[in-house]
Amino acid sequence: MTKADIVNEISKNTGIEKVTVQKTVEAFMETVKDSLTDGKNVYLRGFGSFIVKKRAEKTARNISKNTTIIIPEHFIPAFKPAKTFVAQVKDEVKK
């Protein structure tokens, strides 16, 4: 499902114009990105959490050059679904 599909579905279910729904969806995504960039997690009860994960420094290998490099510690965005969300997907996908 793409962002356009999500906008169409929300517009169809609520009766709100697609342009308004698109602006709302994009504002939501921008807010989540800004919060994660500031190091703040976003919690949506019953859906999940957008969190910032810290990756530790590690040593990696470049196989083609047979060298090792150090990858410094860094932060990445991640999504952790709520337990009820996971259970619902497990039950529905089996059918």
How far apart are alpha carbons 61 and 79 in whole angstroms?
28
Q: Is the pLDDT of residue 95 over 90?
A: no
Where do the domains of the chain lie, and which CATH numbers do they carry? 3-94 (4.10.520.10)
**Are 25 and 7 within 8 A, CB to CB?**
yes
How far apart are alpha carbons 11 and 24 in whole angstroms?
11
CA neighbor of 31 nearest in space, from 3, 4, 9, 50: 50
How far apart are alpha carbons 56 and 74 in whole angstroms?
7
Q: Is the pLDDT of residue 76 over 90?
A: yes
The structure's pTM equals 0.79
